[in-house]
Amino acid sequence: MLEVIHLSKKYGKTLAADDIGFTVPDGRIGILLGPNGAGKSTVIKSIAGLLRFKGTVRIQGQDSHTMEAKRSFAYVPELPYMYEALTVREHLEFISRAYGIPLSEEEASSLFRRFELADKQDKLGSELSKGMMQKVSICCALIVRPKVILLDEPMVGLDPAAIKELKAQILELKAQGCTVLISTHMLEMVKELWDVTFVMDKGHILGTYAREALANEDLEELYFSVTGQDRTREDGRQAWER
């Protein structure tokens, strides 16, 4: 379970996240939605422990700064960055040592096959394309066998096969009782995945919506109705035509 309680973050005088609070229970997929500059990245980076913030983040009931919490948590950032001098295989080895999780040859091979990385195992981080880096980043997150996983725009840069594989993997994680939080703009990509959606704008959560409560409403329509971006876009279009 992931709990975000009264999270606030200021950059200088700018309040990027203001008293954010939400919970994603075990075995549920949460989606963090919001326009550019809404504060999603700030929330994500705070949960991942990369930013100082006011408030509390709990992972499986533990404060997110504790080693116990970190051991059950995986993070896939929006932009993947590899160690230039480590091979793909060595990235996995490094992560398995960092998390103290033994990695068998079969597990690694199976992951590489699923994400079509089998022939790239000995490539250095500096030799990978953006899409490949994203796949390695996802594999590194999966070998942790996380209880809570945070994915920031995970589909960006992936080819259709990898997107399909990632979606299947996310549903598998859900079935295993893992908590998933995805931050994305690609509503189409997550419409069959989500259980609960948090819509953010200007550092605030505008609304929390559970799939069960919105039987017939489309995620896209919900997003535009909450943020009012549709109206703004329509005004812009009319102005352009004039």
Q: How far is the CB of 226 from other proteins (least distance, A)?
A: 30
Among 38, 82, 199, 205, contact with other proteins (rule: CB under 8 A): 82
Q: Which is nearer to other proteins, 128 or 162 (by Cβ)? A: 128
Q: How far is the CB of 90 from other proteins (least distance, A)?
A: 5
- Give the binding range for other proteins (CB under 8 A) out of 22-30, 97-105, 168-176, 196-204: 97-105
Between the alpha carbon of residue 223 and those of residues 155, 167, 188, 191, 233, the distances in Å are 19, 21, 12, 12, 13
140 interacts with other proteins by CB under 8 A: yes
Q: How far is the CB of 83 from other proteins (least distance, A)?
A: 4
220 interacts with other proteins by CB under 8 A: no
Q: Which is nearer to other proteins, 85 or 213 (by Cβ)? A: 85
- Give the binding range for other proteins (CB under 8 A) out of 16-24, 25-33, 95-103, 188-196: 95-103
The residues in 107-126 that bind other proteins, with binding defined as CB under 8 A, are 124-125
Residue 234 φ then ψ, to 5°: -65, -40
* Both structure tokens of 115: 């994400």
- Give the binding range for other proteins (CB under 8 A) out of 77-85, 109-117, 209-217, 225-233: 77-85
* Residues near other proteins, by CB under 8 A: 48-52, 65, 67, 70-71, 73-75, 77, 79-87, 90-91, 93-95, 97-100, 124-125, 137, 140
